[in-house]
Amino acid sequence: MTHQPHIEVPTSRREFLAKSGGGFGALALAALMGGAGQAAVSQDPRAPKAPHFPAKAKNVIFLFMEGGPSHIDLFDPKPLLNKLAGQKIPESFGKVVLAMGENDAPLLKCPRKWKQHGESGLWVSDWFPEIATCADDLCVIRSCISDGINHSSGVCQMNTGHVIGGRPSLGAWATYGLGAENQDMPAFVVLTDSNRQVVNGPRNWGNGFMPAVYQGVKFKSGSDPILHLNPPSHITAARQKAKLGFLNQIDRRHADERSDLSELEARIKSYELAFRMQSAAPSIVDLSAESEETKQLYGIDQKETNVFGSNCLMARRLVENGVRFVQLYSGAGSGWDAHNNIEGNHGKLCKEVDKPIAGLLKDLKRRGLWDETLVIWGGEFGRTPMSEKGSGRDHNPTGFTMWMAGGGITGGRTVGATDELGLRAIETPMHVHDLHATIIRALGMDHTKLIYRHKGRPERIDMNEGRAESKILGIS
């Protein structure tokens, strides 16, 4: 009997166009790329990619103080503020319109003791005595600007570049541009210091309009950071592998008919990654392997610093094992938001993060990770010099402080300045777009060339507006 070839007949106009159009498109792409079309299409999106420029920084640890830490109480001393405390802000500073409307409250004194530290003489307040010992490593940026006047928009912009959710996060852009160094671990990991929900939640580490494979993976705090990592004891490795193989077969068949849904491909990749992580991750996330001296360095032996210290140590272990971008949240749920009792609020939180952050910086150095790891500290905005509720400070996106260290950044210096009261940036203003462009450049990528085309538009992390600041990078 003669074998009759199987001919698939489209059952609808939509199916006909999808199959014929997709086929002709693949042929054209293969011809244009000299026959390499299939290889390009099937390439693993997590595969390591070369940067645009030689760069020391390969990884990022972003220490995010959620809620808005007060720059004028931490890194940007303002003697005039204490001199005028209790008075209304002088008219020469102009009208002040911030989160709570037009602000004419009296100026609030900063009771901190300030001292210059290190050979550089960098100013740090007594709220950060341990970080002060690392003064010569910090490049303090005193002129940051955000468009976000409330927490939702501010946190969203600092993470994604826009005050409205829906765009890829900074970690997603870094992963998209450079890929993953370790194929057995997530490229982008998020750690929080409590069970409270971070403002905006997973949007802060989301993929936006990029394929879902670039989104961040949230780890838990504590001794078991990855839920359901290990299979039940009665499930053998062979049985689990066969089960995953069957699921993959079903998922592939489903995904082949829905190529426009990147979430399906990401789910398949996540199953494959989870299987590999069962071998690689347990030893990486096991802090018990560290020496007691190292744990003490991070403050894990102390109640106040145990949680954030554990997260900082975890971050070091993650970048040491090829995780590209790690983001740590302090004060999850707007914890640094000190509208009243800033002394109690900041005093507690500074105590929780001071020793762990200093320990992280020192440990990166002695582990040989300093030059290749860019450490960033900051929140979504700063605080006002005016008082709120008599003992607190309002949101201030018009001038605040962040700092960078490691990753080839020269420390022991300040970049930019705010006015005499710390209200507005007046020298080398650094908008969030500029900060993002600078971070991307520190990783060896040209922010104007790191492009993802979405609906025909060339999208960038800096919303096509930022500049990489040469004063921070030390380049011409």
Q: pLDDT digit string (tens) for 217-231?
A: 999 776 677 755 566
- Assign 238 a pLDDT band (cuts: 50, 70, 90): confident
Mean pLDDT across the stretch 321-328?
97
Q: Compare 22 and 383 and report the one with higher pLDDT.
A: 383
Percent of all residues in the chain with a pLDDT value above 70, rounded to a whole number: 80
Q: Which CATH number fits domain 59-226+291-473: 3.40.1710, 3.40.720, 3.40.50, 3.30.559?
A: 3.40.720
Tokens matching residue 74: 């931490």
Query: Looking at residue 245, what is its pLDDT?
Result: 73
Mean pLDDT across the stretch 446-475?
95
Residue 244 has pLDDT above 60, yes or no: yes
- Assign 269 a pLDDT band (cuts: 50, 70, 90): low
Query: Looking at residue 254, what is its pLDDT?
Result: 72
- Assign 264 a pLDDT band (cuts: 50, 70, 90): low
pTM of the model as a whole: 0.85
* pLDDT tens digits, one per residue of 382-415: 999 999 999 999 999 999 999 999 999 999 999 9
Residue 1 has pLDDT above 70, yes or no: no
Query: Looking at residue 112, what is its pLDDT?
Result: 97
Mean pLDDT across the stretch 36-63?
79
Q: Compare 259 and 117 and report the one with higher pLDDT.
A: 117
Give the start-to-end residue ranges of the domains of the chain. 59-226+291-473, 228-284
